[in-house]
Structure 1
Amino acid sequence: MSAQALLSVRGLSINYGHVNAVRGIDLDLAAGEITALVGANGAGKTTTLMALSGLVKKAAGAVHFDGQDISAMAPHRIVASGLVQVAEGRATLTTLTVRENLDLGAYTRRDGATARARDVDRIYSLFPRLAERATQMAGSLSGGEQQMLAIGRALMAKPRLLLLDEPSMGLAPLIVQDIFRTLKRINAEGLTIFLVEQNVKQALKLAHRAYVVESGEVVLQGRGAELLGDPRVQAAYLGH
């Protein structure tokens, strides 16, 4: 395990029936960095995130978060430890208001209403649209607003590591730029981010470091800017 790694994964394998979806991958996420996991549909990216969050059973491998073995930890305890995931498809609670969704994001916290209210105000400063729609049902929001809400709700859990699964999916380019700008901002404030993203160009431009997966295996890794200029990445994912 790397001395600097906030999250370290060794030999992670995941099976769906007879299908070996993830095949013994190793990952190291440095504290304070944005790390991207990129690849085509079906490469094993979402499955990897779900396993880190304890939502999918591992066939083999070990996951250490801030030096603690969380390989067999229950999902709610993983969240309480500071590792929080924003699911693919956003998963907002559509019959609750924006504010109620945010409040639910803080369910593991025990630091009092004043601290939680202060963090709601911070979310509203990051995503002013959520402040405007605080009393609206989450189901009435646009796709981009729901993605903002999903990220805001995760931030209410006070993560030390934020996992994001396909945050750009189905969104207009201007909204994607807005969300990625916000991710850059919260990372600059000290939050470590692990980003799974099909938009390879956007992800590599944002990430300090990245891993490329194919058929459940890591085939390339390096600094984001280096991979962006790698002819193999350009040929496979960027249409060059």
Structure 2
Amino acid sequence: MNEPLLSVRGLAVNYGHVEAVRGIDLDLHAGEITTLVGANGAGKSTTLMALSGLVKKAAGRVSFDGRDISAMAPHRIVAGGLVQVAEGRATLTTLSVRENLELGAYTRRDGAAARARDIDHVYSLFPRLAERAAQLAGSLSGGEQQMLAIGRALMARPRLLLLDEPSMGLAPIIVQDIFRTLQRINAEGLTIFLVEQNVKQALKLAQHAYVIENGRIVLQGSGGELLGDPRVQAAYLGH
């Protein structure tokens, strides 16, 4: 197999005296969807924030496309092609949909025409955003705000998209729409790392998957393998 696009070795994160992430290893390969699943408080979101440079690492090395980004500032990580959609969406509620999307391109220096083409592409992925382009983000439904958060991240032209709980608090029909769109953008070539509470959906979507418990990786395999694993079924799927 080719070298991983993102390689993590010995990643540890502490909050005070609490070990939130305890020396984990991960490999994400270009063109794949990889998912990280586990119970609330297992260390999923902390892992993503550590990769994005948003929380301090106690130990470990993170390499992106062969480059050590362990100590890199978050805005430089984004400019390098690793972009995160935060849990809770974090749209800028007093700006319009289009202004939120334009802000997503703040690290780019390729001109207004290229950014306009990418906004049109986001609108093709999420037609509701096109219908609400002039509307304030704060007036959108939860599902529409999630679409906007993903669209804004895509405006940075990521090579790797990190998604933190994109289905949280959304109606099942909206979740299906969002997961179909993730499949589409992955088919277009974007590598995705998905943290998700909906374990069944995440494992169906992912080519590779990791299970984290108490800050440690305890299982890994293909999405299909873990979906059929009795331990995963007992712990997360109610079987």
Q: Any idea what SS the aligned residue of 2:6 has?
A: strand
Show the counterpart of 2:158: 159
SS at match of 1:5: coil
Equivalent runs, 1:177-192 vs 2, <5 Å: 177-192=176-191
1:99 paired residue number: 98
Output the amino acid matched with 1:208: Q
CA displacement 1:140-168 (0-9 Å, x = unmatched): 00000000000000000000000000000
Where 2:12 maps in the other structure, the secondary structure is: strand
| SS of corresponding position for 1:79 | helix
Partner SS for 1:218: strand
**Amino acid across the alignment from 1:199:** N
**How much has 1:215 moved relative to structure 2?**
0.2
Deviations, residues 80-112 of structure 1 (Å, cap 9, x unaligned): 000000000000000000000000000000000
Residues 94-133 of structure 1: matches in 2 within 5 Å?
Answer: 94-133=93-132
Alpha-carbon deviations, 1:107-152, whole Å to 9, x = none?
0000000000000000000000000000000000000000000000
Q: Deviations over 1:26-57 (max 9, x none)?
A: 00000000000000000000000000000000
Q: Report the counterpart of residue 142 of structure 1 in structure 2.
A: 141
4+ aligned runs moved over 2 Å, structure 1 = none
**Structure-2 residue corresponding to 1:77:** 76
- What does residue 60 of structure 1 align with? 59
What do the CA deviations read for 1:56-82 (whole angstroms, capped 9, x no partner)?
000000000000000000000000000
Q: TM-score, with normalisation over the residues of structure 2?
A: 0.99
The equivalent residue for 1:170 is 169
**In structure 2, distance between residues paired with 1:153 and 1:145:** 12
2:106 is aligned with what amino acid?
Y
Cross-structure match for 1:5: 4
1:199 aligns with 2:201: no
Residue equivalent to 2:221: 222
TM-score normalized by the length of structure 1: 0.99
1:207 positional shift: 0.3
Task: Provide the secondary structure at the position in 1 that maps to 2:34.
Answer: strand
CA distance in 2, matches of 1:136, 1:185: 26
Aligned residue for 2:5, secondary structure, equals strand
Q: Distance in 1 between matches of 2:37 and 2:118?
A: 31
Q: Structure 2: how far apart are the matches of 1:3 and 1:42?
A: 33
What is the letter of the counterpart of residue 230 of structure 2?
P
Structure 2: which 5+ residue stretches go unaligned? none
What is the distance in 1 between the residues matched to 2:186 and 2:114? 21
Q: CA RMSD in A?
A: 0.6
How many residue pairs align between the two structures? 239
Paired with 2:159 and 2:49, the residues of 1 have a C-alpha distance of 17
Cα distance in structure 2, aligned partners of 1:4 and 1:103: 33
Cα shift at 1:4:
2.1
For 1:4 and 1:169, the matched residues in 2 are separated by: 32
Q: For 1:89 and 1:5, how far apart are their aligned partners in 2?
A: 29
- State the percentage of identical aligned residues: 86
Distance across 2 between alignment mates of 1:164 and 1:201: 16
For 1:212, the equivalent position in structure 2 comes to: 211
